[in-house]
């Protein structure tokens, strides 16, 4: 379900897309095909996979059925000769390359002890080295184009140590792709080549995810990523470069505000599984609560937010760090209340949220101004409450939350949390 209209800006352009036989890579290819673009389908799958649909040849057929032109090429991005051969064939058939999409990737969400070196090498050779190599080999042709783009499907560089701790090998491999964006965007600026990154806000339903989990009901369709990619690749590369974009933000920037059609299950449109690497309260809490269960961990990233080692650790300090960024004068004006949180249990401590005075404030310790409401609860319930899994009213009625002071202002927390979540 594509919501972004095709404008024809990619008509006649040649895209070299790695990993384009299925999933997000193929979705980007099909979106470009509607403009009449040429697509080099550079992927390993020449023979049908026993469990995953799609080959370079079936993808090529779909591209041409939509009005594009396709060149299926067997390419393992670890093999320099295979990439070069595909580039040479693209030059023969399409007279050049305008756009490189580095989509091919390998994933293993394992800790250090559980990551065997064969898998480590695979991730680094495909993700980081493959991206670097494809960019290097396409560079001479991109220099000749008047609409040259490199788009990496990789996360914004987020220096929060938490995301490294979960699967340091995978994080390093994906961040390698992002560092290519950081460096090459500046290096290639003189050649008018736009180099950018794109990453999904939520889990994306691909055949691989479906095979691994058996469930895509809490995911979005690949079309939200391909729509975002289309918007990015249609921009002027001379001025649009060095960006780390999130799919949801990109499609919203062109007026797509109702994202429900992108949801695999419209009933879950407001309860989707968030991708990793996002310093978002719900995302952080979801992943922290499921870190021990590999079967439900599926991640990805967002922008730089380095947390100094001297800062308190734990999910509640992390949560308040994020909330602090979302406080606005409008939120203060709407709420007009000071809250004190007496947290018990594993992360015992006192925290405050002042949405009444000045520009608002939050952090550890008692508030500077007298609290309108003091809420006492266990740290695990507190986390659930701010993740949207436990409503304050429900928590109060279940005895999980004790409230002292102005009850009405305390119950404003529900509206406030919705507002915070929308602005994160």
Active-site residue list? 170
Closest CA to 52 of 20, 22, 76: 22
d(CA 337, CA 353): 8
Sign of torsion over alpha carbons 295, 422, 253, 328: negative
**With b meaning 16 or more CB within 10 Å and e meaning fewer, what string describes 48-75?**
eeeebebbbebbbebbeebebbbbbbbb
Phi, psi of 355 (to 5 degrees): -115, 45
**Residue 348 corresponds to which tokens in the numbers above?**
């015992």
Burial (CB < 10 A; 0-12, 13-18, 19+), residue 9, is middle
DSSP three-state, residue 57: helix
d(CA 386, CA 334): 18
């Amino acid at each position: 379900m594509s919501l972004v209209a095709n404008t024809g800006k990619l008509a006649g352009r040649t895209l070299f897309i790695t990993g384009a036989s299925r999933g997000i890579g193929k979705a980007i290819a099909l979106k470009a095909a509607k403009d009449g673009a040429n697509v080099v389908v550079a992927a390993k799958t020449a023979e049908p996979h026993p469990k995953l649909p799609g080959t370079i040849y079936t993808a090529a057929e779909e591209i041409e059925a939509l009005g594009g032109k396709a060149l299926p090429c067997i390419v393992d991005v670890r093999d320099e000769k295979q990439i070069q051969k595909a580039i040479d064939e693209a030059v023969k058939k399409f007279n050049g390359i305008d756009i490189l999409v580095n989509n091919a990737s390998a994933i293993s969400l394992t800790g250090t002890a559980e990551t065997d070196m064969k898998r480590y090498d695979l991730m680094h050779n495909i993700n980081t080295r493959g991206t670097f190599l494809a960019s290097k080999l396409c560079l001479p042709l991109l220099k000749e184009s008047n609409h040259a783009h490199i788009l990496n499907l990789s996360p914004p560089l987020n220096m929060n140590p938490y995301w490294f701790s979960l699967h340091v090998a995978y994080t390093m491999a994906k961040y390698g792709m992002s560092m290519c964006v950081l460096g090459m965007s500046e290096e290639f600026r003189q050649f008018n080549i736009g180099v950018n990154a794109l990453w999904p806000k939520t889990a994306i339903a691909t055949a691989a995810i479906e095979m691994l989990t058996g469930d895509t009901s809490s995911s979005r369709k690949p079309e939200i990523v391909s729509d975002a990619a289309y918007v990015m690749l249609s921009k002027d590369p001379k001025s649009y470069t060095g960006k780390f974009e999130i799919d949801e933000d990109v499609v919203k920037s062109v007026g797509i505000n109702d994202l429900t059609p992108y949801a695999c299950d419209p009933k879950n449109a407001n309860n989707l599984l968030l991708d990793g690497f996002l310093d978002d309260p719900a995302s952080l809490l979801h992943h922290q609560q499921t870190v021990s269960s590999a079967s439900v961990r599926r991640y990805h990233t967002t922008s730089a937010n380095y947390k100094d080692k001297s800062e308190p650790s734990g999910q509640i300090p992390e949560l308040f760090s994020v909330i602090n960024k979302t406080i606005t004068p409008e939120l203060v004006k709407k709420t007009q209340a000071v809250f004190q949180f007496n947290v018990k249990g594993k992360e015992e401590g006192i925290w405050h949220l002042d949405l009444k005075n000045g520009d608002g404030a939050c952090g550890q310790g008692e508030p500077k101004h007298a609290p309108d409401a003091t809420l006492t609860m266990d740290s695990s319930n507190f986390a659930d409450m701010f993740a949207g899994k436990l409503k304050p009213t429900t928590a109060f009625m279940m005895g999980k939350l004790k409230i002292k002071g102005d009850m009405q202002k305390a119950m404003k927390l529900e509206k406030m949390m919705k507002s915070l979540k929308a602005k994160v």
